């Protein structure tokens, strides 16, 4: 019999589980707090539960924590983690220290099927979706290891969140809840490469999260060459969905734009991008491409990045250049991937 992952359950679902065991429903809230707030990784840690109940739970459930196979620390304090799932698959996650608090970047899938040509996450394709509890467990694993309070979460690791939206929405509901880590919805960011139905579905939820759209090109000709999703949902269709999202939610969208040397980083591209986004409540986040060894693309020179940003500013588009974190340990945007445990024979990557 497959064990119930307690990390996957809401308070109500945990209470229902306890009711089926002929236990008071309040025990469910106790268990939920141990798992989703205190970060218990073993039932034995739940010392306010009767021993007989813990023994019953041992036969049917697991707290749902992930195995930390390895970690690697960057010069700037960024830490990349390799977590092993119960079925032997693995995902990478990242701890990002900031002056204003600590952030984590988590994966929503083991692998990715989107095939973006500059990204490491899609190498090897998609294995499976992660459950809400497996996404949550990455946050708890990083919090437990770092000893830091987590103030924000970005769902930008491996995988396409819109390809796993039901589990992503459940994760957001649990982690923003007072029964969870109670992280404010405005401190949650969900990224997509442009899955239009997912954007529209997310809009109907009217969440106070930030939607981040990986655009990376001002037109179909360029975007088709690096992002296969664009052949299904071209730029104009994607932009219309983004306008609809803003109209329904009133929330500003962030457009991510990775600058690739000689490919999408010319002044004419910046002008075209400015025209494309004019009138949309948005912000452009420019990212000098984080290089991946298996890919041929290279990052734009710093002067080209600043020039591109200047053209956008003159077009009236709010723009920032993302501060690079974790690049020296392949923990930056586009560099996370699904690894096999054998890639990490020691606790600290070298």
Instruction: Give the pLDDT confidence of 20-58 residue by residue, as tens digits.
Output: 999 999 999 999 999 999 999 999 999 999 999 999 999
| Block residue for tokens 């007989």 | 52
77 occurs within a structural domain = yes
For residue 221, count CB atoms less than 10 angstroms from its CB and return exposed for 0-12, middle for 13-18, buried for 19 or more: exposed
Q: What is the pLDDT of residue 339?
A: 53
Q: What is the pLDDT of residue 313?
A: 97
Are 202 and 97 in the same domain?
Answer: yes
Are 41 and 151 in the same domain?
Answer: no
**CA dist list (Å): 47 to 8, 42, 43, 246, 335:** 21, 11, 8, 47, 41
348 occurs within a structural domain = no
293 occurs within a structural domain = yes
Q: What is the pTM of this model?
A: 0.91
Q: What is the pLDDT of residue 294?
A: 64
Enzyme catalytic residues: 92, 333
Q: What is the pLDDT of residue 2?
A: 87
| Block residue for tokens 């930030």 | 210
Q: What is the pLDDT of residue 298?
A: 85
Q: What is the pLDDT of residue 350?
A: 38
Spatial contact of 50 and 22, defined as CB atoms under 8 Å apart: no
Q: What is the pLDDT of residue 292?
A: 63
Tell me which of 17, 38, 62 is where a domain ends: 62
Domain with 24 in it: what CATH number? 1.10.150.530
Are 57 and 79 in the same domain?
Answer: no
Are 73 and 167 in the same domain?
Answer: yes
Contacts of 105 (CB under 8 A, 6+ apart): 93, 94, 96, 153, 154, 155, 156, 157, 336
Tell me which of 13, 42, 62 is where a domain ends: 62
Domain with 311 in it: what CATH number? 3.20.20.70
121 occurs within a structural domain = yes
Query: Sign of the CA dihedral 236, 241, 245, 247?
Result: positive
Spatial contact of 333 and 323, defined as CB atoms under 8 Å apart: no
Q: 105-128: per-residue pLDDT in tens?
A: 999 999 999 999 888 777 888 999
Neighbours of 301 (CB within 10 A): 13
265 occurs within a structural domain = yes
Are 135 and 44 in the same domain?
Answer: no
Angle separating helix axes 235-249 and 196-205, nearest 10 degrees:
0
349 occurs within a structural domain = no
Are 162 and 78 in the same domain?
Answer: yes
159 occurs within a structural domain = yes
Are 262 and 232 in the same domain?
Answer: yes
The DSSP code for 59 is: H
| Cα dihedral value 17, 23, 25, 30, nearest 10 | -90
Q: What is the pLDDT of residue 238?
A: 98
Residue numbers of the chain with a pLDDT score lower than 50: 328-329, 331-332, 334-338, 341-350
Neighbours of 144 (CB within 10 A): 15
Tell me which of 44, 62, 80 is where a domain ends: 62
Q: What is the pLDDT of residue 94?
A: 94
Are 112 and 45 in the same domain?
Answer: no
Are 15 and 88 in the same domain?
Answer: no
Q: Could you give the number of structural domains in the chain?
A: 2
Q: What is the pLDDT of residue 326?
A: 52
For residue 15, count CB atoms less than 10 angstroms from its CB and return exposed for 0-12, middle for 13-18, buried for 19 or more: buried
Are 38 and 98 in the same domain?
Answer: no
350 occurs within a structural domain = no
Q: What is the pLDDT of residue 333?
A: 55
Are 44 and 164 in the same domain?
Answer: no
Are 146 and 201 in the same domain?
Answer: yes
Provide Rg for the chain, Cα atoms. 21
Instruction: Give me the domain span that covers residue 106.
Output: 67-343
């Amino acid at each position: 019999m497959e064990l119930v992952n307690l990390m996957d359950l809401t308070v109500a679902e945990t209470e229902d589980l306890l009711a089926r065991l002929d236990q008071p429903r309040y025990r469910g809230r106790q268990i939920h707090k141990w798992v989703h707030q205190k970060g218990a990784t073993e039932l034995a840690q739940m010392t306010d539960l009767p021993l007989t109940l813990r023994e019953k739970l041992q036969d049917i459930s697991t707290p749902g924590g992930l195995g930390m196979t390895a970690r690697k620390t960057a010069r700037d304090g960024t830490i990349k983690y390799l977590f092993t799932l119960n079925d032997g698959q693995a995902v990478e996650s990242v701890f990002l220290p900031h002056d204003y608090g600590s952030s984590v970047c988590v994966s929503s899938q083991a692998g990715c099927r989107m095939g973006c040509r500059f990204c490491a996450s899609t190498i090897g394709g998609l294995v499976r979706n992660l459950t809400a509890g497996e996404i949550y467990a990455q946050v708890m694993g990083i919090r437990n290891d770092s000893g830091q309070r987590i103030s924000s979460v970005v769902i930008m690791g491996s995988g396409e969140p819109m390809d796993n939206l039901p589990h992503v929405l459940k994760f957001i509901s649990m982690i923003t809840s007072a029964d969870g880590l109670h992280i404010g919805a405005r401190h949650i960011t969900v990224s997509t490469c442009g899955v239009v139905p997912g954007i529209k579905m997310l809009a109907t939820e009217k969440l106070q999260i930030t939607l981040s759209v990986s655009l990376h090109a001002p037109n179909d000709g360029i975007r088709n060459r690096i992002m296969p999703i664009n052949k299904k949902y071209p730029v104009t269709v994607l932009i219309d969905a983004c306008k609809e999202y803003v109209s329904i939610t009133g929330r500003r969208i962030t457009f991510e734009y990775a600058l690739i040397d000689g490919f999408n980083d010319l002044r004419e591209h910046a002008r075209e991008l400015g025209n494309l986004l004019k009138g949309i409540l948005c912000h452009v986040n420019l990212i000098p491409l984080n290089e991946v060894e298996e890919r041929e693309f290279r990052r734009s020179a710093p002067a080209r990045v600043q020039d591109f940003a200047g053209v956008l500013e003159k077009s009236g588009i709010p723009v920032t250049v993302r501060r690079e974190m974790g690049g020296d340990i392949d923990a930056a945007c586009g560099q996370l991937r699904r690894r096999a445990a054998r890639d990490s024979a020691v606790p600290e990557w070298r």
